[in-house]
Structure 1
Amino acid sequence: MTNPSTPPPALLAWASRVLGARPRVQEVSSPREASRVWQLVLPGPVRFYLKISPKAVMYERETFALRSAAPALGAGGAPQLRASSAHHLALLLTAVAGWPLNELMLAPSEEARAYRQAGALLARLHAVGDLSGPRRAEAERALQSAADGADGHLARAGDRLSAPERKLVRDLAEQLRTLPPLPLAFIHGDAWDRNILWSKDLQQTGWIDFERSRPATAVQDFVLMACSTWVDRPDLRAACLQGYGRNLTPQEQHAVTCLAALDAVSCLVWGPKLGDPGVTARGRRTLDRLMAGVFA
């Protein structure tokens, strides 16, 4: 089913009331995403987006992040939440300047600048999240929860993995349970180049799409980059961690390796399901590298 080209009338009326005028609407949803997104155009320099979350939990996570943590990223570092509607699972956001890094062709020095800023913004996000009470408990359980999901991932992947590969994934998942306590944070949750916007005019980075943000171990925000861009670009890994302000500890790096195995299986499930060969290839490459013992 394709996304509708315009929002539901009641939702558009709500957004128009918030903005004080009826905007011109352009549908900009990603074909791979369940979210529905429209750009709302009004006179003036500020652009807005209207987004319907695919699930209530994603709406709740993104709303909470944009209200409580993302403002610490500063002007242009994240969208600003103008309004939200629990009834529609909708968020009305300001636009972040720039274009996703995965869609840009940049000189290596400019890419490094973008990743350095991205790492610095992640450090701010990780530092400001409220980890009191139940949120701290959720963060402390994060690696255990990831390990608990291994069998489900493997069952859905079926025969896309060999018996030795399945054993390796189970072994690495179990190792997550034995790691010492790692630094906790309020993480972005979907931190990789398609959610990093880079403005060439402003030479500025911003993060978007906080619908998977949550309390967790800080290192979980580096897994997707470690399984994608950083594989062939260690310079970008170095730039991001330089901006973040520290390198990963040996225990955190081992956690990345273990979590990469789970990401690989997830890719081998969702890549074919979504008809996305890029996701499938990422999972297969990660698994091949883990089997060869060269993942780092």
Structure 2
Amino acid sequence: MRQPKLLAPTVQRWAEQRTGLVVAVHDTSHDWHRSRVWELKGEGGNSWYVKVSPSVKFFTRETRAYRHVVPALGHNRAPQLLDSRADDLALLLTAAPGAPVPGLGLPLAAWPAVHSQAGMLCTRLHEAGELDRVDRAEAEGSLEAAADGAEKYLACAGDQLSGGGQQLVRDYAAQLRSVGRVPLGYIHGDNQPRNWLWSGVMAFVDFERTRSAARVRDLVILAVTEWLDHPDREQAFLQGYGRVLTGAERHALRCLTALYAVNCLAWGPDNQHPEVTARGRRTLDRHMKEDRP
């Protein structure tokens, strides 16, 4: 069992300037050494959250997302940013309704409704305003950027992949560069149930990876986890999303899942995450058994 992470007193005092006296602090971080999130309880029972970003890049992305992208989700569909403190990479957030989906023990019959609402919120996020010139350039280059990362992850994964597996990843990286035009927009960047809150309605949290990109990049984790054994969840998500994927998006998604697999095999062992490693192995094995590009 990991030791709870402690909120720095200077950050707590900064938060209390907005919240009033805090009577209890609870560590609610993900099980990752760089995740730092705390729930603050006030005298009247109100709750807030403080998040300390793992890097300047993530802090900048998340503060921008809360100010310019997240409002498109609608009332109570995400936390609101009350304040930010660049010196500590800290964000002070309201509490959104609901609880993280993985801990709710939902029956199988409830999951399609969850995915349907997740699809609806993804549409709102993906269409959260016109991309400016800089964002559009980033989005247009997002698939090529993913392909460019393949060699780095292959090097990090080392002997986690056979020679055939390495060639498979390189083949998909090459294909990703020529899939054609795909819809662009703002993506969540870590779209999966641990970042979904459920109270009968859906809310999203954790926007440190929110950026402009090919929209299909937001479906990669779902495709190799939730949807792999539950096609009804994929169908429900796309119904909520409001459209089927284009042929180019389907092709891009297959390429991206192969690149995601090698990323998992590179990241999982170094970060003591056997679940992530196993996810990468399962995804790559499935690609190897199916048709080669």
TM-score, scaled relative to structure 2: 0.95
Shift of 1:107: 2.4
Q: What residue number does 1:178 align with?
A: 178
What does residue 218 of structure 1 align with? 215
Tell me the distance in 1 between the aligned counterparts of 2:157 and 2:144: 21
Aligned 1:39-50 pairs, distance under 5 A: 39-44=39-44, 46-50=46-50
The answer to whether residue 166 in structure 2 is matched with residue 169 in structure 1 is no
Give the residue type in structure 2 aligned to 1:54.
P
Whether the aligned pair in 1 keeps the contact of 2:181 and 2:248 (CA below 8 Å) is no
Match of 2:244 among 242, 247, 251: 247
Partner of 1:145: 145
In the aligned structure 2, how far is the partner of 1:40 from the partner of 1:72?
26
Q: Deviations over 1:1-35 (max 9, x none)?
A: x7764321211111000113334211222222512
Whether the 8 Å contact between 1:112 and 1:235 is mirrored in structure 2 is: yes
2:187 matched to 1:157? Answer: no
Q: Of 280, 284, 288, which aligns to 2:285?
A: 288
Rounded to whole Å, the distance in 1 between the matches of 2:80 and 2:254 is: 34
Deviation of residue 129 (structure 1)? 4.0
CA contact (8 A) 2:5 2:36 kept: no
Give the RMSD, CA atoms, in angstroms: 1.6
Over 3 Å counting, the alpha-carbon distance change for 1:52 and 1:103 in structure 2 is same
Aligned residues: 291
Matched-pair contact (CA < 8 Å) for 2:186–2:211: yes
Match of 1:235 in 2: 232
C-alpha contact 1:16 1:23 (8 A) present in aligned 2:
no
TM-score between the two structures when normalised by the length of structure 1: 0.94
Given residue 60 of structure 1, which amino acid in structure 2 is its aligned partner?
A: T
Query: Alpha-carbon deviations, 1:145-184, whole Å to 9, x = none?
Result: 1111110000000010000110010010111111111100
Structure 1 equivalent of residue 113 of structure 2 = 113
Aligned mates of 1:154, 1:52 — CA distance in 2: 30
Aligned to 1:69: 69
Q: Does 1:8 align with 2:5?
A: no
Whether the 8 Å contact between 1:3 and 1:29 is mirrored in structure 2 is: no
Residue 75 of structure 1 deviates from its aligned partner by 2.0
Larger deviation, residues 259-268 vs 44-53: 44-53
Counterpart contact for 2:20–2:42, Cα < 8 Å: no
Structure 1's unaligned 5+ residue stretches are: none
Offset of residue 294 of structure 1: 6.7
The whole-number CA distance in structure 1 between the counterparts of 2:167 and 2:286 is 15
Q: Give the residue type in structure 2 aligned to 1:131.
A: L
Report if aligned partners of 1:46, 1:94 keep a CA contact under 8 Å in 2.
Answer: no
- Residue ranges of structure 2 left out of the alignment (5+ in a row): none
Shift of 1:247: 1.0
Moved over 6 A (4+): none
